[in-house]
Chains A and B, each alone.
Chain A
């Protein structure tokens, strides 16, 4: 049985003060060393963001000797961009996951602050191509690029394979993916939100062969562009998804705080995709509990709403603790 290799990334008193230093220092063949690698991001990050780009490469993994990068409750965002939680923030590309499989990434915020218009101004470049993979869950990836081909919250070049759940992708394109040439389904987006700030929300380019699944997701396009655009061969499965324009036969749901989605905030830069009680998304998704059961807040999904948030009815009234035993007072019989 593989042994745990665990390192911590914290603003102080941890093994590392940046995720990049952690990933760089521990590059190894985890299979030969028979280890799985837990990277725990912890602590209060109010004072400063992690400002160093992360390149994850030069690891050898398999299904049981994997890499799991996660934030603790103390370092995790609250379902929207959070300036006190762990965040990667810089002018350049933030994360390059370079052909390493079996990486899990959970609860991470990443923003590329540069507003350039050149091509490939993506915040996250995901190049993991091996059959087995672990979910990237509850992440928020943003690029502030204002132009350029493939300038996306996340970009996936040819043959990238992965599973993305409960995540927000904001960019000139929200997501830009090429797809895959194999006959199996290998790239899945479940309960995600894609916002194209200047172009398309979700774009699949190029020819592929039934490789991409989009389930329970919501997309918005801008600049006269559609929310979902599927170019090349149309081997993609879109199930119980919605958009602001009904593109790709998705349900039309307004990107608004007072109708349709009933998002908490749709202002650029302060987006909050928690939904209100009247949201069209409630119960409109497909049950994917065989794959995952949580939402971006780690609440358990039950009705299977579309998007990152599973609506939680706010309880009212008094909370009255009930004593389970009749207790005697000291000195009183």
Chain B
């Protein structure tokens, strides 16, 4: 894997990344649910506040994409929703459940490799 390929690989979205923010009452599409997405209801956030969670982490010098999303909801929160097969969850204190990425290697989840049993 070249350096550029590695950078692109590491920039991909991670579990818990906030992909799209839409206003309360939004009618999501048929595929905007498990297994690909969990809808997080955040009643304490305004639309304007929440919209920033769509931002990417960009290298200010090169303009390169470092992380497709700068913020993510703690993966454990999402994992719990998946385990419980919940298409949507509510986070009351949403801000406290969101991490800001800085480009560290620890932000990257290991690749999932399908193996034949």
With A57-B68, A98-B65 as contacts: A27 and B12 at CB distance below 8 Å: yes
Number of interface residues of B (CB under 8 A): 26
| A6-41 interface bits toward B, Cβ cutoff 8 Å, 1 = contact, 0 = none | 011110111111101110110100000000000000
Are A14 and B20 touching (Cβ within 8 A)?
A: no
Are B26 and A24 touching (Cβ within 8 A)?
A: no
What separation, in Å, do the CA atoms of A7 and B32 have in the docked complex?
Answer: 12
Are B55 and A12 touching (Cβ within 8 A)?
A: no
Q: CB of A146 within 8 A of chain B?
A: no
Instruction: Please report whether the interface of chain A is mostly helix, strand, loop or mixed according to DSSP.
Output: loop
Residue in A20, A27, A57 whose Cβ sees the most chain B Cβ within 10 Å: A57
Residues of B within 8 A of A51 (CB): 51
Q: CB of A177 within 8 A of chain B?
A: no
Q: CB of A84 within 8 A of chain B?
A: no
Residues of B within 8 A of A14 (CB): 29-30
What separation, in Å, do the CA atoms of A57 and B7 have in the docked complex?
Answer: 12
What separation, in Å, do the CA atoms of A20 and B17 have in the docked complex?
Answer: 13
- A129 — nearest CB in chain B belongs to which residue? B4
Are A17 and B22 touching (Cβ within 8 A)?
A: yes
What separation, in Å, do the CA atoms of A22 and B37 have in the docked complex?
Answer: 11
Give, as a whole number of angstroms, the nearest-CB distance from A295 to chain B: 32
| B36-61 interface bits toward A, Cβ cutoff 8 Å, 1 = contact, 0 = none | 11000000000000010011100000
What separation, in Å, do the CA atoms of A99 and B11 have in the docked complex?
Answer: 12
Residues of B within 8 A of A98 (CB): 8, 11, 65
What separation, in Å, do the CA atoms of A52 and B51 have in the docked complex?
Answer: 9
Query: Given B12, B19, B21, B37, which contacts A57 in the complex, CB threshold below 8 Å?
Result: B12
A sample of 7 more A-B contacts (CB under 8 A), given A27-B12, A52-B21, is A14-B29, A17-B29, A21-B32, A58-B8, A58-B13, A98-B8, A98-B11
A residues near B (Cβ < 8 Å) are 7-10, 12-18, 20-22, 24-25, 27, 51-53, 55, 57-58, 92, 96, 98-99, 120, 125, 157
B residues near A (Cβ < 8 Å) are 4, 8-9, 11-13, 19-22, 26-32, 36-37, 51, 54-56, 63, 65, 68
